[in-house]
Structure 1
């Protein structure tokens, strides 16, 4: 009887560790899900970095001179100078 207890205990431990691998914290499916979330977050971070660089460039342009301010006013606010005729071409 004593010779059968050790293999039974080892098999039980193996089953516990195997179950932990598939269903427990840090399991293979959970790691795969986290890797997918990480990849999606890296893409979102890259897009945010591009947007931040674009905004930083606009801020630098706005600080340097009035040309960018005038362009923004014309494009976003529809500014027209005195004695200037606004013409819009549509396709």
Structure 2
């Protein structure tokens, strides 16, 4: 993530992620599904899924903010991220543990 140049040349950093999260509206509770449509109920699996989403969100936000700071069209970058996500294939196709 790049630092922002403020007034008078001072460098300002974005707020820490916990402050950003605190300011965001709470996300609705997700119900994770198995490929067969059942509910994933294992607390550890749910925890890992949520942690992965938080990491993904942080990286995606960094990409968009860096693009904005470099003068890129953020909506174009967002569209490229969607394309890349849609092209990702899961390397593991076995049954869940």
Q: Structure 1-normalised TM-score?
A: 0.33
Which structure shows the higher strand fraction? 2
Which structure shows the higher helix fraction? 1
Q: Structure 2-normalised TM-score?
A: 0.31
Larger Rg: 1
